Structure 1
Amino acid sequence: MLRACFLTTVLSGVAQSASLYTDPNDVPTKEYDFIVVGAGTAGNVIATRLTEDPTKRVLVIEAGIDDTDVLPIHVPFLGLNNEGSIVDWNFTTVPQKELNNRTLSVPRGFVLGGSSSISKSHSSWKRNGRNELDYSKDLMIWTRGSRDLWDHYAKVSTLVPSTSYPDIPPPPPNNPTLSNGNGPVQVTRANFPNELDDKVINGSMILQQEIPHSRFKYTVDMNTGNSIGFGYTQETTGHGERSSSATAYLHPALNSNRSNLDVLIQTRAMRLLQSKNSASNSSSVPHFNRVEVAQSVDGPRFKFRARKEIILSSGAIGTPQLLLLSGVGPKHELKQLGIDVVVDKPAVGKNLRDHPLLSTIYNVNSNQTFDDITRNPALQQQLLEQWQNNRTGLFANTPASVLGFMRLPKDQLNGVKDPASGPHAPHLEMVFVDGFLPLFQPLPETGHFIAVLNSIVAPKSAGSLTLASASGGTFTHPLIDYNIYGNSFDIQAMLQAINDTETFLSTPPWTQDDFIISVFGRNSTSIGTEAEKIAFMRDNTITLFHPVGTARMGSKQGDVTNSRLLVRGVKGVRIVDASVFPTIPECHPQAVVYTLAERAADIIQEDHGML
């Protein structure tokens, strides 16, 4: 989208605090009470909460860089520049069979704040090993999930009690930037008006009136426990700037000069090591108490010891990779790679799920889209200066302010197990963006466009993560297979989403003044026949970049973690990140991860007598 000139704004590589280190040799001690691997959405919450006890010392190990002066992280509208940059792990999937063997990129945050600093919302793609176009949208959407989701997790793992779900009062019409709640993470409504806002709201209201039991109903707030409906979204921005786990938790802790918190960046955890007593005693439960790290694949190795626990918060990609490299995973896979098996744990790396996403571009009769801004570097600079001066204007906003969550028609669920958590949880999502998304080709030199993003938020397809090699440690990318459309249910669900979009765009707010001209590249407002729609899906589906599930929690012995998030079969290791979710949240999951992390911090404090 906007040119990469803004990506050059990494203003300094200097550590901001005596507790933020870029060299393992400078870390003041090699022994801590707790070691947190990953300074992402969950890891920063854990580190901040545990160091509220001044008697406990915590080390955070982060592979990426300091986020402080990376401008596209902090400017909401510029978040689209983060993919493929220095703050991205640059993972890719294996060829996806049901997507005509296309390979998808898998952006993950390589920076303090992790993916909460880049909040990926969809991916670019590759064909035949070659980048066609690197692009992503960063929407920073804050959705807490339905009460059914949390009740489901309670039944599966007893991690949380059944919910008494509080309503969030909507902001008054004259103050759309009012934050909800008073927690560390800033959450607001849109900071800047969008021409699509009224069209979405009015379109849903019209359909709600015209169709009995409409699936397109309007909702004032989709964060009340019932996620179904179309309306304004909430986003993780405050005062016109992104709010991440780094800005909300970690930096305030560092800036308060907590002497018991150390953060080591630009350093990768390579594997977990057993205590000497555990390793020498074959009859004892394996006890991991050390983390081996490195700053280059052939560089020296350093070891840090945890007196109490190692907490893995490296996400649904990094956490299973680290477990596998440490000998915890499917026995036959580890043996094939020559890795010593510490614990045979078949579920590690399995149950990988993400939200399939399909973007449809429409030619529109408007000159208000942000396409002209995309084409005009001078105008971009003016908007950036406005943001720098007072945190206002288009750049203070994410590119999408309205969305809708929907259930599938009841007849489509006949004879199949409902993949959603319950009646208040959706199957589909529709997001509206007021401009061209160059996922597969660049923005045309002329014309104005909008994009409608359809996502399956309750997919049935599941994939896996495996190691490509035992050599190179975490410097070697794992094999990521989302298995998109591996279950035919998801093909029918996305087909329904396309049809729903065409129904929605046929309402007066979209048809008056011939606002919708045609689908981009076609002479009609429809993609075509059912066969043409399915072909379009296979050619254009990517993902929302919400990977979960690869170290699932649950009450069964086969689950990777128990209800207190401890890894089964070993001592000293707990997992706190999206890899533990047994099912994928039917929402944008960052709020769910924050909630998990806050609850996990309480559990850890309880288990170690810190409360």
Structure 2
Amino acid sequence: MSTPTTGSADDQDEDYDFVIVGSGAGGGPLAANLALAGHSVLLLEAGDDHHCPYYSIPIMQGYASEDADMRWDFFVRHWDNDEVQTNDDKYVGGRGGVLYPRGSTLGGSTAISALVTIYPHPSDWDHLAELTGDPSWGAGPMRELFRRLEAWRGVDAKPLPSDTETQRDQKAGHGRDGWLSTTRANPAVGGREPMFLDIIGAIEQTSRDRYGIAEEVSLPRDPNAADTPPDYQGMAFIPVAVADGHRNGSRERLQDVAAQVPDKLTIRLNALATKVVFDKSRAVGVEYLDGHRLYRASAPADQTAPGHDRPQQPTPTSPRIARARKEVILSGGAYNTPQLLKLSGIGPRAELERHGIDVLVDAPGVGRNLHDRYEVSVVSELDHDYPIFNDSPLDVPDDLDAGDALFAEWRDQRDGPYTTNGSLAAIIAKSSVAKADSDLIVFALPIDFHGYYPGYSRDSVRHHNRLSVLVLKAHTNNRAGSVTLRSPDPRDVPDIGFRYFEEGSAGYEDDVNGVIDGIEIARDIVDHVQTAVTGELIPGRDVAERADLATFVREQAWGHHACGTAKIGTDSDPQAVLDKDFRVRGVSRLRVVDASVFPDIPGFFIASAVYMISEKASQVILEQHRTAE
């Protein structure tokens, strides 16, 4: 399905009620909601609308993130210290950092994500409510927003011993009529592969042994059920954003609404925003460049798919201006939103003056507070291949009418292993440094995945006898990262540095120890696997002492949920960029709605939280603009 309406850069009417920059989890649903309410909306997306099997097929999510027609390649620094940084096996010296793929297509990073859709912890919202003094940020109202967007289609967890199925459904509180279809891997798929069943059984037994879960309590549990406590420890399934075997997300929401109200929603593709236009301190529009692959994070032209060749650094047209009668909203993400704010004169004075940018608002918090979760992987080798992978390249065939049995099953029936994101099952746990809520999720993949580097997606399926048990540490302490301008050229990629562990904020020891606790759980799972494990490849069983594991974590950890670079905060916080209603301080008619807004990273996976703030921002903005003119 192609985008129903894209507008044209040659359109004479460049005035809209709202101009929104970015079509991802923040900007896409917001644009849709405002248009459905009767407002005229222009959505600027720097990428194209690229649709291909890598996008559609959930299991191909790794390939999607390396598809040159859908990605921007950011290379980020985990460490300023060169000696420590270059110890990371994923470091690319020629690019000066570690690969951090982001989406550059309709749907933003929701088009290349691993589709995981896990509800954040209630405390994440209650903390925001306390910070802002606004109860609408609390766990109760935010849960209702999740119900409003969720269309649960999965196989539910079996009832607890004291519940009926009706009681289970009432307590779970799933939304079933929203625009985002969520499901889980069909349990029957795992049952087709004895080795998958072995791994799933190992996760279950590890859960029961570690947490004393009785046999009469069915596993796995549902992490998105409203009655799953935030300190739950045990086996869980992983909800994913899949509809009828296809990826779904911001792109599909936009396409659906554009078809419903084509006169209200205009989607302009290949439009790179360069700055916000102001009349004194009032945001009145957005300047943008019209052209393919203008941003220098775009993949090299020789990596694009046949029929999609683009020049590497084309000459853009003269800047255009799209004017907003009511508001401008930035939803470019944790890297591009602070870059755009700074290019518009909103940021730390010294940095802006260094690049010759006139200072509109001296906002020291713009580009600061960059943070992420920490992830590592325990990779083991098995003594034989997964039989289900026999005769399959685990890739999309050149001839879509041909292909192996697994691809054909997805193509013809929208069924089978390709309808999943590849995860088999998970354990949610509390590390030794956890506070009230669980802070670890440990999950298994039947591939070799140990982080992001160029070519990682093909390397991950090169061997059919690998087991990766991933550890993700939530509620991390580090807030010392930053996004800073390299130049005043809007096509240049900013400098991104996370300042991991001891380079970062206080409490880094807890972060390291929490990840090590997760590695111990991962190894426990592998020890429960009945299939013969011939050895641990990463980090290797010789890395056994906690001091050695700490070195492994410091050098090899990664993340892919960057946030916080234009945070919400109080009037008394000089680092706060936004107020409780997403408004940029110091100017009017300008908001930010994306992962930049979070003072603290929410939950385990960030996409659901960004979808939720998009719904909340829709509420706030529509309340303040009650009627469409």
TM above 0.5, yes or no, is: yes
The answer as to whether partners of 2:205 and 2:528 remain within 8 angstroms in 1 is no
The answer as to whether partners of 2:110 and 2:250 remain within 8 angstroms in 1 is yes
Which of 16, 32, 40 is the aligned partner of 1:57?
Answer: 40
Corresponding residue SS for 2:36:
coil
Report Cα offsets for 1:67-121 as digits up to 9, x if no partner.
Answer: 4x222111100111123322111111136246434422221110111111111xx
Which of 196, 200, 222 is the aligned partner of 1:197?
Answer: 200
Distance in 2 (alpha carbons) for counterparts of 1:551 and 1:376: 40
1:170-189 equivalence runs, <5 A:
171=156, 181-189=176-184
Residues 172/374 of structure 1: CA separation in 2 closer, same or farther (3 Å cut) = same
Aligned letter for 2:55? I
1:100-139 equivalence runs, <5 A:
100-101=85-86, 102=91, 103-119=97-113, 138=114
1:266-415 equivalence runs, <5 A:
266-275=270-279, 278=280, 286-295=281-290, 296=294, 298-368=316-386, 375=393, 381-409=404-432, 412=433
1:32 matched to 2:27? The reply is: no
Distance in 2 (alpha carbons) for counterparts of 1:263 and 1:560: 28
1:180-579 equivalence runs, <5 A:
181-191=176-186, 192-193=189-190, 194-195=196-197, 196-209=199-212, 220-223=221-224, 224=226, 226-227=229-230, 228-229=232-233, 230-247=235-252, 249-275=253-279, 278=280, 286-295=281-290, 296=294, 298-368=316-386, 375=393, 381-409=404-432, 412=433, 423=436, 425-437=437-449, 439=451, 442=459, 448-462=465-479, 463-471=481-489, 473=490, 475-485=491-501, 486-487=504-505, 489-503=507-521, 505-506=523-524, 510-511=527-528, 513=530, 515-520=532-537, 525=541, 527-543=543-559, 545-557=560-572, 558=574, 559-579=576-596
Report Cα offsets for 1:281-328 as digits up to 9, x if no partner.
Answer: xxxxx1111210103464311011100000111111111110000000
Residues 449/66 of structure 1: CA separation in 2 closer, same or farther (3 Å cut) = same
Distance in 1 (alpha carbons) for counterparts of 2:442 and 2:289: 42
Residues 350/329 of structure 1: CA separation in 2 closer, same or farther (3 Å cut) = same
How far is 1:270 from its partner? 0.5
Indicate the RMSD between aligned Cα atoms, in angstroms: 3.0
The answer as to whether partners of 2:15 and 2:323 remain within 8 angstroms in 1 is yes
Residues 87/500 of structure 1: CA separation in 2 closer, same or farther (3 Å cut) = closer
Corresponding residue SS for 1:498:
helix
How far is 1:35 from its partner? 0.6
Paired residue for 2:26? 42
Report Cα offsets for 1:220-276 as digits up to 9, x if no partner.
Answer: 2222363433311111112111111111x101112224311111001100001112x
Residues 551/438 of structure 1: CA separation in 2 closer, same or farther (3 Å cut) = closer
Paired residue for 1:283? none
Aligned letter for 2:428? F
Residues 110/370 of structure 1: CA separation in 2 closer, same or farther (3 Å cut) = farther
Corresponding residue SS for 1:143:
coil
1:153 matched to 2:153? The reply is: no
Corresponding residue SS for 1:363:
strand
How far is 1:434 from its partner? 1.5
Report Cα offsets for 1:515-535 as digits up to 9, x if no partner.
Answer: 43321168x646322333223
Distance in 2 (alpha carbons) for counterparts of 1:448 and 1:496: 29
Residues 451/467 of structure 1: CA separation in 2 closer, same or farther (3 Å cut) = same
The answer as to whether partners of 1:100 and 1:539 remain within 8 angstroms in 2 is yes
1:588-607 equivalence runs, <5 A:
588-607=605-624
Taking every aligned residue pair, what percent have the same amino acid on both sides? Answer: 24
Paired residue for 2:298? none
Distance in 2 (alpha carbons) for counterparts of 1:444 and 1:391: 22
The answer as to whether partners of 1:369 and 1:449 remain within 8 angstroms in 2 is no
Distance in 1 (alpha carbons) for counterparts of 2:446 and 2:387: 5
The answer as to whether partners of 1:204 and 1:504 remain within 8 angstroms in 2 is no
The answer as to whether partners of 2:157 and 2:221 remain within 8 angstroms in 1 is no
Paired residue for 2:307? none
Q: Which moved more, 1:94-103 or 1:436-445?
A: 436-445
Residues 571/444 of structure 1: CA separation in 2 closer, same or farther (3 Å cut) = closer
The number of equivalent residue pairs is 541
The answer as to whether partners of 1:170 and 1:221 remain within 8 angstroms in 2 is no
The answer as to whether partners of 1:371 and 1:435 remain within 8 angstroms in 2 is no
How far is 1:163 from its partner? 2.4
Residues 499/518 of structure 1: CA separation in 2 closer, same or farther (3 Å cut) = farther
The answer as to whether partners of 2:516 and 2:550 remain within 8 angstroms in 1 is no
With the length of structure 1 as denominator, give the TM-score of the two structures.
0.81
Paired residue for 2:301? none
After the TM superposition, which parts of structure 1 deviate over 4 Å for at least 4 consecutive aligned residues?
165-170, 172-175, 369-380, 438-441, 443-447
Report Cα offsets for 1:557-587 as digits up to 9, x if no partner.
Answer: 5311111111111011011111001101121
1:76 matched to 2:62? The reply is: no
Paired residue for 2:312? none
Paired residue for 1:5? none
The answer as to whether partners of 2:372 and 2:563 remain within 8 angstroms in 1 is yes
The answer as to whether partners of 2:515 and 2:553 remain within 8 angstroms in 1 is no
How far is 1:488 from its partner? 6.8
Residues 512/156 of structure 1: CA separation in 2 closer, same or farther (3 Å cut) = closer
Report Cα offsets for 1:509-557 as digits up to 9, x if no partner.
Answer: 84464543321168x64632233322322342221x1111001012225
With the length of structure 2 as denominator, give the TM-score of the two structures.
0.79
The answer as to whether partners of 2:471 and 2:518 remain within 8 angstroms in 1 is no
Distance in 2 (alpha carbons) for counterparts of 1:190 and 1:326: 45
Report Cα offsets for 1:6-41 as digits up to 9, x if no partner.
Answer: xxxxxx9xx643x213x411x351100111111111
The answer as to whether partners of 2:181 and 2:243 remain within 8 angstroms in 1 is yes
Residues 354/159 of structure 1: CA separation in 2 closer, same or farther (3 Å cut) = farther
Residue segments in structure 1 that go unaligned for 5+ positions in a row: 1-11, 120-137, 212-216, 279-285
Distance in 2 (alpha carbons) for counterparts of 1:356 and 1:308: 39
